[in-house]
Amino acid sequence: MKKRIVIVGPAWPYRGGQALVESHLYETLSKLGYDCHTVSYSLLYPSILFPGTTQFDKSGVLHFDHRNRIYRLINSINPFSWIRAAWKIRDLKPDATVIIWWMGFFGPALATIAWFLKQWKTGKIVFLVENFISHEKRWFDNLSARRTMAYGDHYISESDYVTKQLVEAFPDRPVHKTTLPVYDCYATGDGSKESSRASLGITSKKVVLFFGYIRPYKGLDNLIRAFKDIQSQHPDTTLLIVGECYEDKSKYTDLIASEGLTESTVFVSEYVPNEDVERYFLAADVVCLPYNSATQSGIIMMAYGHRRPIVTTNVGGLAEFVREGKTGYIVPPGDLTQLAAAVNRVLTEGETVDFESHVAEFTGELGHKNLEKVFDAITG
């Protein structure tokens, strides 16, 4: 008899990293033979707290379609909906409920659901932890995380960095280590570097890509300031910035202008639908993550899914996902000189180093490779 798993987290039609994690987790577990269902949100963020244009995925392509198994029940600010969600999970009779955790704001809702499941003895409670503490590090995050996840029987982390936090917080309970999946679902194989650049109007010899939501902790301003040093060695280089701004865009456009980079920068300030993701990564020679803080990053896994090398800062668990000199380089956060030098090194070595093969080899070690073992241990 197949074991049943209920995933609690944002799912289609919501967009973003957590929904992507949910879809891949559902897909992987289903292929392993688990009977999966997802309890998602009817309201994720109240509009007053959401800085973007929309919370919903407007893509014309849906990579993993399991909408008939998604129950949109959780209103993040309506306690009655939390109880209804718990009832639904109880009725599904799961062997394990996997709660995706990434931000303290959702603590009250998820703690209430977990509390009811605990009282009803509704299978194992598992927290899949993307961030122990949110990127913004709000004053209530640590308390919310500890109080909510105290209901867990097991924990799944996606980096050694988060594993350490979980072991320190819950030393008497098992923590299982995996990684984010390699996001190769966007790679259709239909495009090329040349066709992708042509579609973007890019004619330069080299392209450096920054991709993803633009938020203060991601350090885009550092990359912009370092770009003159990059161009000092590779003058025919374009800075390609792609992502929706979750802050004032003029902060970056003004900086680009003041640095004299307007002509060598392409700024696509919007959320990219699934069907358009590939061309931005194919256009790039290197993907840069100049982050000031992080845990792990879906952008790394997108870059690797397109066989692109990366340059990233040594924050959180990011360095765990780089083979120095083979899949990219690691630099200290905030060090513009080393950031530029590492990008220049990739651009220079790209003529002789087969980064694509190294990335392909490394990605064989990443992703949800060990989930069958993890869930056998949880549900066995």
b/e code 237-271 from CB counts within 10 Å (16+ = b): bbbbbbbbbeeeeeebbeebeebebeebbbbeeeb
pLDDT higher at 50 or 244:
244
* Identity of residue 16: G
CA distance 234 to 227: 10
CA distance 265 to 223: 12
Residue (of 99, 95, 96, 72) closest to 84 by Cα position: 72
CA distance 211 to 34: 34
CA distance 273 to 373: 33
Residue 183 CB neighbour total at 10 angstroms: 22
What pLDDT, on the 0 to 100 scale, is given for residue 136?
A: 67
pLDDT at residue 380 tops 90? no
What pLDDT, on the 0 to 100 scale, is given for residue 337?
A: 97
CA distance 121 to 147: 19
CA distance 353 to 52: 39
Residue (of 141, 70, 152, 67) closest to 293 by Cα position: 141
Half-sphere exposure of 304 (CA within 13 A, CB side): 26
241: confidence class by pLDDT, cuts 50, 70, 90: very high
Same fold, 4-181+367-379 and 193-363: yes
38: confidence class by pLDDT, cuts 50, 70, 90: very high
State the average pLDDT over residues 20-39.
95
222: confidence class by pLDDT, cuts 50, 70, 90: very high
CA distance 373 to 363: 19
What pLDDT, on the 0 to 100 scale, is given for residue 83?
A: 98
What pLDDT, on the 0 to 100 scale, is given for residue 361?
A: 94
What pLDDT, on the 0 to 100 scale, is given for residue 358?
A: 96
CA distance 195 to 156: 40
Strands 206-211 and 237-242: parallel
pLDDT at residue 232 tops 70? yes
| CATH 3.60.15.10 is right for the domain spanning 193-363 | no
pLDDT at residue 126 tops 80? yes
State the average pLDDT over residues 121-137.
88
State the average pLDDT over residues 209-234.
96
pLDDT at residue 135 tops 80? no
What pLDDT, on the 0 to 100 scale, is given for residue 6?
A: 98
Domain-by-domain residue ranges, the chain?
4-181+367-379, 193-363
What pLDDT, on the 0 to 100 scale, is given for residue 304?
A: 97
Task: Tell me which CATH code domain 4-181+367-379 carries.
Answer: 3.40.50.2000
Range from 95-109, 175-189, 319-333 carrying the lowest mean pLDDT:
175-189
pLDDT digits (tens, 9 = 90+) for 173-186: 999 999 988 999 99
What pLDDT, on the 0 to 100 scale, is given for residue 367?
A: 80
Structure tokens at 288: 């840069």
What pLDDT, on the 0 to 100 scale, is given for residue 48?
A: 87
Would you list the DSSP string of 155-192? EEESSHHHHHHHHHH-TTS-EEE--PPP--TT--S---
Residue (of 184, 364, 148) closest to 281 by Cα position: 184
Which helix (DSSP H) or strand (DSSP E) does residue 97 occupy?
A: strand 96-101
Structure tokens at 225: 């300031």
Query: What is the model's pTM?
Result: 0.94
Per the DSSP assignment, residues forming a β-bridge with 4 are 35
Strands 96-101 and 70-75: unpaired
What ranges in the chain are assigned the alpha helix state H?
A: 17-31, 79-92, 107-120, 141-149, 160-169, 193-200, 220-233, 250-258, 277-283, 298-305, 336-349, 355-363, 371-379
Structure letter (DSSP) for residue 14? B
